[in-house]
Amino acid sequence: MSRAMKLGAVIITMGNRPDDLLALIDSVAKQDGEPVEVVVVGQGVPVTGVPDWVRTVELPENLGIPGGRNVGVEAFGPGGTDVDALLFLDDDGLLPRTDTAELVREAFAGDPKLGIISFRIADPETGQTQRRHVPRLRASDPMRSSRVTTFLGGANAVRTAVLAEVGPLPAEFFYAHEETDLAWRALDAGWMIDYRSDMVLFHPTTAPSRHAVYHRMVARNRVWLARRNLPAPLVPVYVGVWLLLTLARRPAPAALKAWFGGFKEGWATPCGPRRPMKWRTVWRLTRLGRPPVI
């Protein structure tokens, strides 16, 4: 009889939602099957009040979302190798079903090339899923599971074999688009990504622009994403399309100013290692419904 896939969960926190954090940990503890190990990473804050069985890491400063998650991965051994797959969960989320971990195990066991699973995020009061939380262009039906080209950062499962092959999340991004960077590298290495509507994380409906750095980071990291991962001819196309889309949405003057500041920063600053994807990966992304120009 084969060994059950061992899962770990990485949760990063700023320490400002202690009740939500405890509720999330409790929902992880209630998962069916083999217990899911949990690591909580405090981003420049102490981690207090969590159950004794939860491992904690306290950082001296806020390393950003991908940096904090990478530290959580290392708490499960180099590259997370003490477990077979990791759940990355927002600290104000909640797993409403007790079979989510078992569904993750079944999905990975049934498809050796499946590397990443994106959960469906639903509002706990209305049950509705925001369009932006469905990681594909055809997002009108959030109940339809499908193969996709990216995933949701705070509601997902990733095989540690993916991280071992393509590397960790890009810590230098700090916030925004770090998931797509990892997704593109994983797809280029031959892994697949699924969006699963039956794997649900409850999360309050919020606007991403609530973060003060949102507009600058989104613009800067779009440019970095292209510079790091796309074949040279596609870099200006991708960045140009997103420039036009941003202008078409007519953001407020202050937001647009921040966006252009980030856009300029994206070209003027180091983006990290450049590893352009293969042209066959470009075609693969196109066949999956999201060519890497949008």
For residues 238 and 192, membership in a common domain is answered with no
For residues 255 and 162, membership in a common domain is answered with no
Q: Does some domain include residue 95?
A: yes
For residues 226 and 195, membership in a common domain is answered with no
Q: Which residues pair with 147 in a beta bridge?
A: 194
For residues 196 and 226, membership in a common domain is answered with no
Burial class (CB in 10 A: 0-12, 13-18, 19+), 100: buried
Residue-wise pLDDT tens digits, 157-210:
999 999 999 999 999 999 999 999 999 999 999 999 999 999 999 999 877 655
71-77 contacts: CB < 8 A, separation 24 or more? 71/41, 72/10, 72/11, 72/12, 72/39, 72/40, 72/41, 73/10, 73/160, 73/163, 73/168, 75/10, 75/39, 75/41, 76/8, 76/37, 76/39, 76/160
> Are 158 and 86 within 8 A, CB to CB?
yes
How far apart CA 7 and CA 9 sit, in angstroms, is 7
DSSP state of 6: P
- Which pLDDT score, from 0 to 100, does residue 3 have? 77
Q: Does some domain include residue 286?
A: no
How far apart CA 61 and CA 119 sit, in angstroms, is 29
Tell me, what CATH number does 53's domain have? 3.90.550.10
For residues 26 and 105, membership in a common domain is answered with yes
For residues 183 and 223, membership in a common domain is answered with no
Residue-wise pLDDT tens digits, 233-278:
999 999 999 999 999 999 999 999 999 999 999 999 999 999 999 9
Q: What is the pTM of this model?
A: 0.96
For residues 36 and 79, membership in a common domain is answered with yes
How far apart CA 145 and CA 155 sit, in angstroms, is 15
The torsion angle over the Cα atoms of residues 61, 67, 71 and 72, rounded to 10 degrees, is 110
For residues 147 and 238, membership in a common domain is answered with no
For residues 17 and 162, membership in a common domain is answered with yes
How far apart CA 213 and CA 113 sit, in angstroms, is 36
Domain ranges, residue 268? 209-273
Residue-wise pLDDT tens digits, 165-177:
999 999 999 999 9
How far apart CA 128 and CA 224 sit, in angstroms, is 32
Strands 37-42 and 55-58: parallel
For residues 95 and 178, membership in a common domain is answered with yes
For residues 235 and 246, membership in a common domain is answered with yes
Strands 85-89 and 155-159: antiparallel
| C-alpha distances out from residue 208 to 27, 45, 133, 218, 247, Å | 25, 23, 11, 10, 18
Neighbouring residues of 3: CB distance < 8 A, sequence distance ≥ 6? none
> Are 117 and 87 within 8 A, CB to CB?
no
Helix (H) or strand (E) holding 105: helix 100-110
